[in-house]
Amino acid sequence: MGQRCVGKHNWHAKGRTNVIGALLASCLLTISRFSGSINANTFCAWVAQDLLPQLPPNSVVVMDNAAFHNRADIRQLFEQARHILEYLPTYSLDLNLIEPKWAQAKAIRRQKKCSVEERLAHDVS
């Protein structure tokens, strides 16, 4: 007790897997797996190629304020597709309904001791 904890962790480790998804009501509408970090270009491509084709007409899309969500061309994609894009207030984790889904999927993955690929092969809704 009272001793400094020293260690190293490579936060940019290779092999990281990220998942982007969207909820419709309380079910996952779409999810996609990516190797590596997510940036605005990746997110923009996902919106255009995966999310928008699956949204019902005239949807209202609510996103958190992640840096890669806030690019003008992403907003334009939603507007061109005749959807409304809204952002959650800053620091509003209690309103971000997809976070409990991710926590649930991670807990099941840990419980079953399976890989991300194996977990995504099953229904995560």
Does pLDDT of 125 surpass 50? no
The whole-number average pLDDT for the span 113-123 is 65
Please report the pLDDT score of residue 42 as a whole number: 92
86 vs 19 pLDDT, higher one: 86
Domains and CATH numbers, the chain: 17-112 (3.30.420.10)
Chain segment 89-117, per-residue pLDDT in tens:
777 767 666 676 766 677 777 787 776 66
Decide: 38 and 20 in contact? Cβ < 8 Å. yes
Does pLDDT of 12 surpass 80? no
Long-range Cβ pairs for the range 22-28 (8 Å, 24+): 22/51, 22/54, 22/61, 22/98, 23/97, 23/98, 23/101, 24/55, 24/56, 26/97, 27/125, 28/101, 28/124, 28/125
Chain segment 38-89, per-residue pLDDT in tens:
889 999 999 999 999 999 999 999 888 888 888 999 999 999 999 999 888 7
Q: Which of 7-11, 20-24, 121-125 has the lowest mean pLDDT?
A: 121-125
